[in-house]
Amino acid sequence: MNLKSVEILNHLSKCMDLNYNIISEEQWNTEYEAMDLKLNHTFCKSRLAKKTPKKSGYFVTLWTKDKTQINQPFDYQNFPEKLIVNVIDNDKCGQYVLSKDLLLKKGILSHDEKKGKMAFRVYPVWETNLNTTALKTQKWQCNYFIDLTKNIKKELVLSLYE
């Protein structure tokens, strides 16, 4: 398995006391390296964000299929504790660690009457010249972002993965 997301996980596990096991690669969203994994004692979903040529930020898909094979957002009740979003852009590299509670609060996971989203954008700290909406999103997202380009902030990694 030669996945960019796995390279990031390998790097983090060497630098930190993190152990992971890939449980399965998802049937859908393979171009986003969609997989389920267990990180220490926490079940997670993982995605690789993709840079888009015409719009700032990186695109992430987060959907499954229902019983009739129609795409739908993931439901809060059936979602693991965390979503890991890996971002790689030439020499820049980072990772978002987003809890399922945060994903619900931000309207990404569906629950009861909330529809959820099948995709969203992330804006790492190195993204500049953003419009107002993207800046607002980047502001809340930066609290959950680990910049792996330079020195790893170990306290941040530990707090996001606990």
DSSP secondary structure letters along 32-67 = GT-EEEEETTEEEEEEE-EE-SSSSSEEEE-EEE-T
pLDDT band at 72 (very low <50, low <70, confident <90, very high): very high
Residue type, 114: K
**Residue 2, pLDDT above cutoff 80:** no
| Exposure string for 102-122, b = 16+ CB within 10 A, e = fewer | bbbeeebbbbeeeebbbebbb
Q: Which residues on neighbouring strands pair with residue 49, listed in sequence order? A: none
Per-residue pLDDT, 1 = 57
Residue 147, domain CATH: 3.40.1350.140
Sheet of 42-48: strands edge to edge? 20-25, 35-39, 42-48, 82-89, 92-99, 145-147
pLDDT band at 91 (very low <50, low <70, confident <90, very high): very high
CB atoms within 10 A of CB 130: 15
**Residue 16, pLDDT above cutoff 90:** no
Mean pLDDT over residues 58-83, rounded?
96
For residue range 18-63, list pLDDT tens digits in order.
Answer: 889 999 999 889 999 999 999 989 999 999 999 998 999 999 999 9
Contact yes or no for 114/107 (Cβ under 8 A): yes
More confident residue, 45 or 3: 45
Q: Name the residue range of residue 156's domain.
A: 4-161
Mean pLDDT over residues 60-77, rounded?
95
Residue type, 140: W
Per-residue pLDDT, 111 = 95
Per-residue pLDDT, 152 = 87
For residue range 107-159, list pLDDT tens digits in order.
Answer: 999 998 899 999 999 999 999 999 999 999 999 999 999 999 988 888 999 89
Domain count across the chain? 1
User: pTM of whole model > 0.85?
Assistant: yes
Pair of tokens at residue 89: 């852009």
